[in-house]
Amino acid sequence: MSIIKRKLMLKFIEHPKLIYKKILESIKYFEGNLFENHQNTMLYILPADLLQIIRRELINTVGLNVAKNLLYDLNQLSADTIIQDAEDMGFKGIENVRYFFSIMALFGWGDGFNFKFDPETSTGNVILKNFPIVDQNAKFQLHYDFAGIMARMFKIVFDKDLFVEEVLCKSKGDEYCEFKIYPMREEEKQKQNLSKYKQTVAQVSKKDAKSFPPFETFDKFIDEITMDEVGVLKYKGESRLVIKDVQSINSMVYAVSSILGRKTMGAILYRCGMRTKLPFTTQVKTLDDLKDSLSKLSLFGLGIFEVINNDSQNIKIILKNSPFAIGLPTEDTPICWVMAGILHQIIQNYLDKKILSIKEVECIATGKDKCVFEINTIKS
């Protein structure tokens, strides 16, 4: 790509409110999963509050100091895909940084276009507005994960070990989130000692998204996602959404669970699934309503659901193409913990039933061809 074309493209994508529809239309649906049709990367569309809940649960479980190191150090893979895309198009240096913040805005991660960085001194700052994950009750900065992603981005682009520190945070009542960038000091290097746990999942299979047949239901769903403010994606003007690649999320979950243990991580993610505010308001009263709700979840890239009602108190749900287990090495036990929590929430809150137990008895992470949840319930 010529210099002129690169400059024109950067100017173009730095106006996300004008082009976000084109970006959303590049996401294609195939058998319950989502792929973008440029690099054919597999994606989730997630309720923004899910990631905030995960952060809060980690802090409550392991304490602030451990949680912030985990979030900072183990959530950096997100930057790799974006910068690789930029480099493939011929962008270099600070152009890559501009491209990074443009893509993050288009995927619902706020407005980070107000940034300064001096490659010679390796110092700078980023002012991030409209960040989607904010806990208004926090007494400290919270966005260690995004700081880690930026640190990784600067490392790839400039080949320098930099530290990114959040100094202002909207969660504390500040007007926006601000991050300082500076060369990593020895004390930061000693804290970032989790490299042995940076286990990435296997390369997630890519599919030729341009070859997928049209799916009208998904196209209508995409059309209901809007961006009225820079970096803010909303479904039907209400529920805030973010777009994230499957490989980086699964890699982070796998790495953190390797440190905390599968049982602890499973309990954390189960609770997060239970507490996540789902991005639709359908009133579920019957099994047919339940099937309809789960078909809506499929549009977010969470797989294909089949509901089997064995009797009035027992429900079996089959999940095909679960993205939560994709790319993971073969496990001894099922690992779709978030989905189990979401199912618990739906059935308990909407079907007016009290769950006795919900158990994933089969999982593609254990070598099966599908995930199966068995749910035993009684009336509330």
With a cut of 90, say whether residue 27 has pLDDT above it: yes
Contacts of 94 (CB under 8 A, 6+ apart): 117, 119
Where in the sequence is the domain holding 94, given as residue range(s)? 46-197
Query: Is 330 part of a structural domain of the chain?
Result: yes
Burial readout 225-257 (b: 16 or more C-beta within 10 A, e: otherwise): bbbeebbbbbbeeebbbbbbbbbbbbbbbbbbb
Q: Which residue has the higher pLDDT, 163 or 69?
A: 163
- d(C-alpha 115, C-alpha 55), whole Å: 25
Of 146, 168, 197, the domain-final residue: 197
Query: Residue 197: what pLDDT?
Result: 45
Query: Is 16 part of a structural domain of the chain?
Result: no
Q: Are 128 and 110 in contact (CB under 8 A)?
A: yes
Amino acid at 188: E
Per residue in 251-268, pLDDT (tens digit) is 888 888 888 899 999 999
Q: Are 330 and 367 in contact (CB under 8 A)?
A: yes
Q: Are 330 and 336 in contact (CB under 8 A)?
A: no
Pairs from 262-266 (Cβ < 8 Å, separation ≥ 24): 262/331, 262/333, 262/335, 264/61, 265/337, 266/335, 266/337
Q: Is 326 helix (H, G, I), strand (E, B) or coil?
A: coil
Average of per-residue pLDDT across 42-52: 90
Q: Which of 165-174, 246-255, 317-326, 344-353 has the lowest mean pLDDT?
A: 344-353
Q: How many structural domains compose the chain?
A: 2
Of 165, 197, 229, the domain-final residue: 197
Percent of the chain with pLDDT over 90: 48
Query: Is 178 part of a structural domain of the chain?
Result: yes
CATH code at 122?
3.30.1380.20
188 and 296 inside one domain:
no
Of 197, 224, 255, the domain-final residue: 197
- d(C-alpha 309, C-alpha 288), whole Å: 10
Average of per-residue pLDDT across 265-294: 86
DSSP-assigned letters across all residues of 137-186: T-SS---HHHHHHHHHHHHHHH---EEEEEEE-GGGT-SSEEEEEEEPPH
